[in-house]
Amino acid sequence: MDLLPKEIEAYASQFTTPETDVLKKLNRDTHAKVLRPRMLSGHLQGSLLSFISRMVKPSRILEIGTYTGYSAICLAEGLQTGGLLHTIDHNVELEEFAKHYIRLAGLEHRIIQHIGEAAAILPEIDEEFDLVFLDADKENYVRYFDMVYGKLKKGGIVLADNVLWSGKVLNKPEKNDKEALGIVAFNEYIRDHAGVRNLLLPFRDGLMLMEKTG
Ligand SMILES: C[S@@+](CC[C@H](N)C(=O)[O-])C[C@H]1O[C@@H](n2cnc3c(N)ncnc32)[C@H](O)[C@@H]1O
């Protein structure tokens, strides 16, 4: 289910600052060569991520779920001078693809790629983050949030993608639908979390915006 009518999305895209040449090429190349290209953030969401990052002006960013590097490149646009973005993905086959575009974007010294299971890599990254983007396996969102919370500065921002899960959150998910169950559990967890101020933004597939208040 597309939450936004296609024509509205196309209109919004036309009236948004165009993708850079590198992002346009990465978008096209991902659709031509990589499985499940719908996973890529794309022009509108990428622009929102870039916008938020440029407002936060982070020194350290964490992303869980690199895929082909589109969102990492967008998020890195807001980094302070000397800032770094750590991005994690367990799909080793996408490492070189993403690296190529990170290099084309001139961000090879700003973006550090980690290859492996997010839950295993997270404890090894010794940083305090200003901005985090959760965009990997949905069944582990609560787990990742808890792992990340202690590494987040007070006032730090966490963004989590796909929190409407194509509208499936409206009905009780099937017992074997681990991803939908994970998203529903995450949304409830965040709503009830005492150390978070949040907004579930019904944009694209749903983006949860969270600020650490505790
Ligand atoms: C939705 S895609 C990320 C899209 C990307 N953030 C973007 O906007 O272009 C999700 C990615 O998470 C990765 N992933 C899934 N489970 C993971 C895990 N347990 N540890 C690390 N990466 C994982 C997948 O390999 C996939 O590339």
pLDDT in tens, 4-60: 889 999 999 999 999 999 999 999 999 999 999 999 999 999 999 999 999 999 999
How far is CA 209 from its chain centroid? 11
| CA–centroid distance, residue 58 to ligand 1 (Å) | 22
User: pLDDT tens digits for 160-185?
Assistant: 999 999 999 999 889 999 999 999 99
Q: 79: number of CA atoms within 13 Å, CB side? A: 21
The helix (H) or strand (E) run that includes residue 63 is: strand 60-64
Query: Which residue type does 122 have?
Result: L
Rounded distance from Cα 15 to ligand 1 centre (Å):
29
Residue closest by Cα to atom 9 of ligand 1: 40
Distance 90 CA to ligand 1 centre (A): 7
Q: Which atom of ligand 1 is nearest to the CA of 94?
A: 27
Q: CB neighbours of 29 closer than 8 A, spacing ≥ 6?
A: 68, 97, 101
For the Cβ of 46 lying below 6 angstroms from any atom of ligand 1, the answer is: no
CA distances from 13 to 123, 131, 162 (A): 38, 25, 19
Domains and CATH numbers, the chain: 6-212 (3.40.50.150)
Identify the DSSP state of 72: H
* Ligand 1 centroid to residue 163 C-alpha, Å: 15
The three-state secondary structure class of 8 is helix
Q: Which helix (H) or strand (E) holds 198?
A: strand 196-201
